[in-house]
Chains A and B, each alone.
Chain A
Amino acid sequence: MARSVTTRRKTVNTLAAWAIGLLIFFPILWTILTSFKTEAQAINDPPLFFFFDWTLENYAVVQERSNYMRYLWNSVIIAGGSTVLGLIIAVPAAWSMAFVPSKRTKDILMWMLSTKMLPAVGVLYPIYLVFIELGLLDTRVGLTIVLMLINLPIIVWMLYTYFKEIPGEILEAARMDGATLKEEILYILTPMAIPGIASTLLLNIILAWNEAFWTLNLTAAKAAPLTAFIASYSSPEGLFYAKLSAASTMAIAPILILGWFSQKQLVRGLTFGAVK
């Protein structure tokens, strides 16, 4: 039984939590605010919070000067593509591990997990060489494949933990009820598995979107996604705060929204099911 709490204690909790929450969120808020300022207002001392001339100019300039849409499109293709590709490969694998487990299933899962822990920098040059050899350097296809591979263990794991939760008795019940394998998959398994697949999809788009080792090292101009685009602001454009903010806001907004939907799955996905 949850106990009732005094209003005073609840007020104190609320104030403390909101203060800390806003403090942590502040850099993001500040970036969003700055993106609507003029460059002069952006570096004004004292800082301007809400009372400035709101403008959308920065967004227009960022798009115009750097062809922002192309980077955005690259991010969408690479993050979306690698996730979908990963799911296509992982769903059957996780499926069979969850429903037809063998003595080796656990070993295979652990081994997959271990590939995720391989430090990227240790294999940077070989991948670089292979990419040159296959003509994949600075291509969306190449990056899609790499991101699919680095996230594949997480995808398999997440799906596995979700599929594991579908009780075997339900499938047996369906079989007793006269469902064929096709009907079993169509009417029972798929509806029960879809929430798990959806959260896996969501989390992996986020991870792929934000990946910033391979995307920085394997792209130059053509296939560069937003991570690389933002990195190019390092200097000297970075001193144009308003434009930097506009570019950043656009780069993080879609993921912030997706991320808020997937908080719960985040825990499960990133801890490989060890914390639920």
Chain B
Amino acid sequence: MATQHSRSAARFMMAPAVILLLGWMLIPLTMTLMFSFKKYLPLRGGDLGWVGFDNYVRFVSSSAFWPSVQTTLIIVGGVLLITIIFGVLLSILLDQPMWGQGIVRILVIAPFFVMPTVSALVWKNMFMDPVNGLFAHLWKAFGAQPIEWLSDLSLFSIILIVSWQWLPFATLILLTAIQSLDSEQLEAAEMDGAPPLSRFAFIILPHLSRAITIVVLIQTIFLLAIFAEIFVTTSGAFGTRTLTYLIYQRVLESQNVGLGSAGGVYAIILANIVAIFLMRIVGKNLDT
């Protein structure tokens, strides 16, 4: 099958995809790298020459940097924690025999298909609005003072919204993983005298560990980049400015491209650290 002829044909068939992605990666990356070493203010003089590592130093030493890192970590960590814990519990529940399993599955998965701007707006206005939101009604019904969700509990609110979007993803993947668990293993453990909690801890959880790792890594990559949810709800105010959002503001809002690009390089490095771990797992899977 693998004759010389088919090899060159294969190379030819692969070329468009490889060339396009290579261009898509290299051109912007080179430009970002270049800008990051320049003082570049498109609206205030344009290209003002090379400045070495100035932008890198300034980006890190600006008063907004560390809070944004902290915000990013809190949001990513919070969402991961919520989606994994509830994802595991929910996937175990959904794996149990019940009536209408298919419909429940659909209900649980649905939020994942809602576009980020819609979910952000719906939560912001219809649930978290301190006057007319559903939560406000609920609080008032119990005689409590409605909460200003997006200003007083801004981070928690965003974590809640994003978790709602990503819980289905975690649940779906963990459910798929649970269903691949050989039921004989559980029966063997039962015969060996393991009570339900031990079976969960010693059989189910280890079986899920790979799927959990994958969920953590993939979500981390997507969560580091969340944008629309913040753009629509708080626009980065009330301590919700993540690293991504900070870079976005530097580049597009204050048009300080050099500074923003330096931030971009930091973000790329950060994402790559996570990516390396994910690719290891995916790569191992390729060999089988």
Contact = CB atoms under 8 A, between A and B. Distances in A.
Contact of B122 (A126, A130, A248, A270): A248
B126 A118 contact: no
Interchain residue pairs A-B with the least CB separation, the first 10: A122-B264, A96-B10, A123-B28, A126-B31, A259-B113, A212-B228, A92-B13, A21-B107, A126-B28, A93-B17
Interface residues of B, number: 106
Contacts of B27: 126, 130
Contacts of B274: 117
12 contacts: A24-B110, A25-B108, A31-B118, A31-B126, A108-B18, A114-B272, A114-B275, A114-B279, A121-B247, A209-B115, A272-B282, A276-B180
B173 interface: yes
A216 B288 CA distance: 40
A230 B117 contact: yes
A183 interface: no
B17 A89 contact: yes
Interface string B120-144: 0111111101001010010011000
Nearest to A260: B106
Contacts of A120: 225, 227
A271 B134 contact: no
B112 interface: yes
A80 interface: no
A195 interface: no
Interface of A: 1-2, 5, 9-10, 13-14, 16-18, 20-22, 24-25, 27-28, 30-31, 34, 43, 45-47, 89-90, 92-93, 95-97, 99-100, 102, 106, 108-110, 112-115, 117-130, 149, 152-153, 156, 168, 171-172, 206, 209-210, 212-213, 216-217, 226-228, 230-231, 233-234, 238-239, 241, 244-245, 248, 251-252, 255-256, 258-260, 263, 266-267, 270-276
Nearest to B141: A46
A113 B113 contact: no
B15 to A, nearest CB: 8
B76 interface: no
Nearest to B264: A122
A13 B98 contact: yes
Contacts of A43: 132
Contacts of B137: 45-47
A3 B28 CA distance: 57
Interface string B94-120: 101111110111111111111111110
A18 B173 CA distance: 20
Nearest to A27: B122
A215 to B, nearest CB: 9
A211 to B, nearest CB: 8
Contacts of B272: 114, 117
Given A120-B225, A172-B1, A252 B248 contact: no
B172 interface: yes
B248 A245 contact: no
B41 to A, nearest CB: 12
B197 interface: no
B14 interface: yes
Interface string B26-70: 011101100100000000000000000000000000000000000
Contacts of B214: 271, 274-275
B21 A24 contact: no
B126 to A, nearest CB: 6
Contacts of A96: 9-11, 13-14
B128 to A, nearest CB: 11
A123 B264 contact: yes
A267 B176 contact: yes
A128 B238 CA distance: 28
B268 interface: yes
Contacts of A153: 21
Contact of A117 (B24, B96, B275, B285): B275
